[in-house]
Structure 1
Amino acid sequence: MKNILFILFLSINFSFSQTLKGIITDSISGNILKYTNFSFKNSDGGTTSNENGHFIINIKNKINDTLKISYLGYEPKFIPLNQFNEDKEYILNYKLEISNNRIDEIIISEKKNKYSEQVKIKSKTEGDIRIFAFPGCEFALRFFNKRQEVGRVKSVKIHFRKNPNANTLSKYRVKFYSVDSITRFPSNYLLKEDIIITPKNKTYIYELNVEDKKIPFFNEGIFISVELLDLNREFKKGDKSGPGLRFSKGEGQQLTFENYYGKKWFRSKMISNLNSKNYKPINVLIDLNIIYRKK
């Protein structure tokens, strides 16, 4: 009898966990915004809404924090959590507003130009470094424009590595950013739509053709990022999903930036041979095909 009561007590406490759940939609059209990111302003943790726009996030012990909701091409929303101070499940639906900035005008004007001369930018490979990313972790690689003339992105090649221990097929989100003129960090979105890919769990190069998206390649270059998604909250770390991203130490400089559930960009600190004087920065392996105006 004591055992039965004890189990019942545990189940009751678990059912009243402090959580937020709901759906994220467009403020004008009402369309569901799937794969929306959620992160905490002052602490770790986060999640992503699923394919139906539904989200659920545990806010236990986060009462003094602020929840950030972010989505491609929309203004982020910040929710103070001190208003949710009871141990219960809160059902809330949020609407996000489309963001507008000057770079949108530049992108529209560039779409009118015609491009045909192709140039390949390949990452320098040295070593084959295995790193398991956490869900929500986004790696952005900087590409420089040596020709100093505006081009257009034709295709992206992402290097993947087979994970023989995987029990879940990985999903990744690919994004394109401009370069901030001051910080040189990833800045504005160059494509305000989701590109979700599900590569095969093997070691190979996945080519993504985006020529029809007409993404500009500015004089200062661009960033291309890859984010590991866990839409059904099936794993806590990428060691059980495959394929994983490939990394290399061939560039000789740190060109990779990291982000966690859309929280804040920081320059990656990944290095090889930590205990050696000959350590090198590690970068995610991505290649890029650019087309320029034919001279």
Structure 2
Amino acid sequence: MKKALLITFFLISNICFGQLKSVIIDSETKGKIPYVNIWVENENIGTTSNENGEFELEIDGNKIVLFSAIGFETRKISSDSIKNTVKLKPLITELEEIVISSKKLTQELTIGEFKKSKINNYFGCGIKPWITARYFEYKDDYEKTSFLKTIRVLTKSDVKNSKFNIRLYGVRENGEPKNYIYNQNIIGIAKKGKKTTEIDVSKLNIEFPKSGFFIAIEWFIIEENKYEYKYTMEGSRKKLEGISYEPAIGTIPAETDENSWIFNQGKWRKVWKNNGGIKKYNGKYSLMAIELTLSN
């Protein structure tokens, strides 16, 4: 286990053979697309394109590769057909309602408060990208402060200035995330150590949807986020080498799984129940430590 804290890694190592190398571009503008998350379908293998849209991926045999980027249609491609470029089509769908207007910030309301010092359980990322989402329900109390001003996330990073992405989703009938209420990347920068990372989104003028919405954290498998460490298994003195992609995201214990979802290999599913580990989390569900400031 990484250091003395409980960090839940969704992914494990996998031995792979054969290398794909390509650049991801916009099918219409031909511009390069950064931070595209890439999975091998039904496999624990994945990566993220860098700032220039470039990626390398090792796989064994011919597999289906899934490409996911905010603002673009998710695409599945057979690995043997991937050449020098991969084209993604811009997503043409109606966004969830966004209200844009001039406004003066005279009132604020904070929701989802957490105590940094009380949190010692985290979601972490191994060698494959994934997304975890937290649902925020709309309440009548938000009517006078219905615009999203800041998002605060508890992060813990072992590297300087690790990057992560924030996606904002609406809600499907079955309760899972669907569509975007904002269709561009919102990049967060986590400083080294245990920090409350704040992202100012006030200029986006996003109004809290009456149906509620999800805030999702997306990890990037990029070199600047990579952290290599050594660890030992219980009952053994042998030192093993591990890799994580920072930052880890703090979680709070929840009684139900209804507000916490995970996206991997192109599918959403509910978060799992914690078994063992830290006492106050045992038998409960992990909910990301996210605090929102709303304004008028």
Q: CA deviation at 1:284?
A: 1.2
Q: CA deviation at 1:274?
A: 6.7
In structure 2, do the counterparts of structure 1 residues 285 and 148 end up closer, same or farther at CA, with 3 Å as the change threshold? same
CA distance in structure 1 between the aligned counterparts of 2:95 and 2:54, rounded to whole angstroms: 31
Runs of 4+ in 1 over 3 A off after TM superposition: 112-117, 123-127, 166-169, 233-243, 272-278
Partner of 2:232: none
Q: Which runs of structure 2 are paired with 1:70-149 in the superposition (5 Å)?
A: 70-81=68-79, 83=80, 91-103=83-95, 106-107=97-98, 110-112=99-101, 114=103, 116=105, 117-123=107-113, 127-134=119-126, 135-147=128-140
Q: CA deviation at 1:167?
A: 5.4
Q: Which runs of structure 2 are paired with 1:30-45 in the superposition (5 Å)?
A: 30-45=30-45
Partner of 1:227: 218
Asked whether 1:252 is paired with 2:263, we answer no
SS in 2 for 1:102: coil
CA distance in structure 2 between the aligned counterparts of 1:115 and 1:102, rounded to whole angstroms: 28
RMSD: 3.0
Partner of 1:48: 48
Give the letter aligned to residue 67 of structure 2: I
Partner of 2:184: 193
CA distance in structure 2 between the aligned counterparts of 1:225 and 1:264, rounded to whole angstroms: 14
The correspondence for 2:274, drawn from 271, 275, 295, is: 271
CA distance in structure 2 between the aligned counterparts of 1:235 and 1:99, rounded to whole angstroms: 33
Q: CA deviation at 1:228?
A: 2.2
Give the letter aligned to residue 190 of structure 1: I
The answer as to whether partners of 1:40 and 1:263 remain within 8 angstroms in 2 is: no
SS in 2 for 1:194: strand
In structure 2, do the counterparts of structure 1 residues 114 and 92 end up closer, same or farther at CA, with 3 Å as the change threshold? same
SS in 2 for 1:35: coil
Q: CA deviation at 1:79?
A: 0.9
CA distance in structure 2 between the aligned counterparts of 1:113 and 1:183, rounded to whole angstroms: 35
Which sections of structure 1, spanning at least 5 residues, go unmatched?
A: 1-16, 85-89
For residues 254-289 of structure 1, the C-alpha deviation after alignment (integer angstroms, 9 at most, x for no partner) is 2221123x6221111042647989722121100011
SS in 2 for 1:192: strand
Q: CA deviation at 1:124?
A: 5.1
The answer as to whether partners of 2:260 and 2:270 remain within 8 angstroms in 1 is: yes
Partner of 1:153: 148
Q: CA deviation at 1:170?
A: 2.6
Question: TM-score, structure 2 length as denominator?
Answer: 0.76
In structure 2, do the counterparts of structure 1 residues 25 and 204 end up closer, same or farther at CA, with 3 Å as the change threshold? same
Give the letter aligned to residue 77 of structure 2: I
For residues 28-64 of structure 1, the C-alpha deviation after alignment (integer angstroms, 9 at most, x for no partner) is 2221101111112333311111111111112313x2x
Q: Which runs of structure 2 are paired with 1:22-37 in the superposition (5 Å)?
A: 22-37=22-37
Give the letter aligned to residue 25 of structure 1: I
Q: Which runs of structure 2 are paired with 1:201-216 in the superposition (5 Å)?
A: 201-216=192-207
The answer as to whether partners of 1:272 and 1:281 remain within 8 angstroms in 2 is: no
Give the letter aligned to residue 22 of structure 1: S
SS in 1 for 2:219: strand
The answer as to whether partners of 2:166 and 2:218 remain within 8 angstroms in 1 is: yes
Q: CA deviation at 1:76?
A: 1.6
Q: Percent identity?
A: 22
Q: CA deviation at 1:115?
A: 6.9
Query: Which structure has the bigger radius of gyration?
Result: 1
- Normalized per residue, the structure richer in strand is 2
In structure 2, do the counterparts of structure 1 residues 216 and 223 end up closer, same or farther at CA, with 3 Å as the change threshold? same
Partner of 1:217: 208
Q: CA deviation at 1:242?
A: 5.1
The alignment covers a number of residue pairs equal to 259
Partner of 1:288: 292
CA distance in structure 2 between the aligned counterparts of 1:175 and 1:278, rounded to whole angstroms: 28
The answer as to whether partners of 2:45 and 2:59 remain within 8 angstroms in 1 is: no
CA distance in structure 2 between the aligned counterparts of 1:36 and 1:75, rounded to whole angstroms: 11
